[in-house]
Amino acid sequence: MRTRSQTKNETVKELKPVKELKPLYEVNIDFDGASEAWKANKKSVGNGCYKYVCTRINKKGLKCDKVCYKNTDYCWTHRVSKI
């Protein structure tokens, strides 16, 4: 009577080598750059959580960077102003 390990060893020997398959697509992803781009309009609030920040340009020519008001893309100051 053959044991499971003996049967397993026999099946491994019976397997034929598989040809190397050419990949369909070349995968070249810059994960660090993608992470920085994703965090560009967000502010960390701790514990791996983020909040969106206002994207309007202030009088000094810098991005506002205040936390967005409710479900809008702008802070309280810029919520109704037009450019």
What is each CA distance from 3 to 7, 9, 12, 15, in whole angstroms? 6, 10, 15, 19
Tokens representing 15? 């397997």
Question: Do residues 31 and 42 touch, judged by C-beta distance below 8 A?
Answer: no
Question: Distance between CA atoms of 83 and 75, rounded to whole angstroms?
Answer: 14
Instruction: Summarize pLDDT for 6-30 with one digit per residue, the tens.
Output: 666 665 556 566 778 888 888 899 9
Instruction: Summarize pLDDT for 64-83 with one digit per residue, the tens.
Output: 888 888 888 888 888 875 55
Question: Do residues 42 and 48 touch, judged by C-beta distance below 8 A?
Answer: no
| pLDDT at residue 54 greater than cutoff 80 | yes
| Short-list 81, 33, 42, 44, CA closest to 65 | 42
